Amino acid sequence: MVKQRTQRIRSADRRGGVELLLAENVPHVGQQGDIVRVKPGFARNYLLPQGLATVATEENKQRVEQHRKRQEELVRDRIKQLQKLARDLGNYSATIEANANDEGHLYGSIVGRDVSKTLKAAGFAVEPDHVKLEGPLKELGMYTVKLQLHADVDAEVKVWVVPTAAH
């Protein structure tokens, strides 16, 4: 039985490039959703068989544009939520109890994980990697802790480090 030959991928221009729509991020080529021009062999032997790209037809371009608009809308909504969270955190002060000596030096230290745990207990969705401390807190007192909730959304929260109540 004779095997049918598949349709060849050819470029419309003379430079020899093939226009593809990237389905995944490809290093040194482009990001997901980008329309790129690559050599026919690279497209035929690597990008298309691996499922990293598809032929850039008008229908595919329209789908990607619709998808990109939906994603941008979701990101805008997420940023609005995070800005509200940042405002709420700015009006909140957290209290962390820690063991300390008579001079006010802690026996341990307070790190981002401790601040995150305290804020989560108060109902704020703050992950440890959002907390940006310049170093561990090693003394009793009031600190202003910076939080980076998103690349575009920063917040500050007041943290009181108090001695553990003696029983």
Q: What's the CATH number where 40 sits? A: 3.40.5.10
One domain for residues 102 and 158? yes
Judge whether 5 lies within some domain.
no
Judge whether 147 lies within some domain.
yes
Over 80: is that where the pLDDT of 1 sits?
Answer: no
- Enter the tokens of residue 83: 């800005």
Which residues, 6+ apart, have CB-to-CB distance to 163 below 8 Å?
Answer: 97, 98, 99, 100, 140
Confidence of residue 25 (pLDDT cuts 50, 70, 90): confident
Degrees (nearest 5) of the Cα angle 102, 108, 111?
125
pLDDT attached to residue 109: 92
Domain count, the chain: 2
Judge whether 12 lies within some domain.
no
Give me the domain span that covers residue 36: 18-78
Mean pLDDT of the chain, nearest integer: 88
Judge whether 4 lies within some domain.
no
One domain for residues 93 and 52? no
With a pLDDT cut of 90, the percent of the chain lying above it is 61
* Measured distance CA(68)–CA(65) in Å, rounded: 5
One domain for residues 55 and 124? no
Over 70: is that where the pLDDT of 10 sits?
Answer: no
Separation of first and last alpha carbons in the chain: 89
Judge whether 153 lies within some domain.
yes
- Enter the tokens of residue 162: 């108090």
One domain for residues 139 and 89? yes
* Global confidence as pTM: 0.65
Task: Say how many C-beta atoms besides its own lie within 10 A of residue 60's C-beta.
Answer: 15
Confidence of residue 167 (pLDDT cuts 50, 70, 90): very low
Out of 38, 60, 78, a domain closes at 78
* Measured distance CA(103)–CA(162) in Å, rounded: 12
Q: What is the pLDDT of residues 79-101, one digit of tens each?
A: 999 999 999 999 999 999 999 99
